[in-house]
Amino acid sequence: MPFMNYIAQWKSVAKEALDRSAIIAKFLCYLHFTGNYLCSPTHAYGPSMLPTLNIAGDVVLVEHVSPRIGKVGHGDLVLVKSPLNPNRNLTKRVVAMEGDTVTYFDPLNSEDSRIAVVPKGHVWIQGDNVYASRDSRHFGPVPYGLIRGKVFFRVWPPSSFGRLDN
């Protein structure tokens, strides 16, 4: 009989472990789905988006639905995978969409203005602080597929908590 009690006890422990593992797996799937397909927080820092975002960094919420359904437009603040370094994300403003003509100048390299036409499937992004931003003026139009999401809410610092409107 002691052996049967041991087997029954082991079955109970194993069932409990499997039940808890299933709960953890479901939770991790939920986190993955939410963070990659619905909404996620990110840290945006640097001088390129002054005065909209703080130089020391803001924690902002990014929704990932709009780029997937084609609802990104002029003036939207977007999180973009960097075309120069895919390990980095950039927070910039959409200035032009496909088919638009952009007149721009690069204050770091030249005082001359240039003209570019945004090709199909691309957007033109720029930082709000044109004197301290590496953006489409340096690397050209960005493929729409590199847009990770639309920034819509500032969470940190508490003094700036709220919506980020165009």
Q: Just list the catalytic residues.
A: 48, 92
Amino acid identity, position 112: D
Alpha-carbon 92 to chain mean position: 10
Contacts of 17 by beta carbon, 8 Å cutoff, 6+ apart: none
Report the SS3 class of residue 69.
helix
Q: Which contacts (CB < 8 Å, 24+ apart) does range 30-39 have?
A: 36/64, 37/64, 37/65, 37/68, 38/63, 38/64, 38/65, 39/63, 39/64, 39/149
Q: Which two tokens stand for residue 150?
A: 């639309």
- How far is residue 25's CA from residue 21's CA, in Å, rounded to a whole number? 6
Nearest CA to 119 out of 103, 146, 143 is that of 143
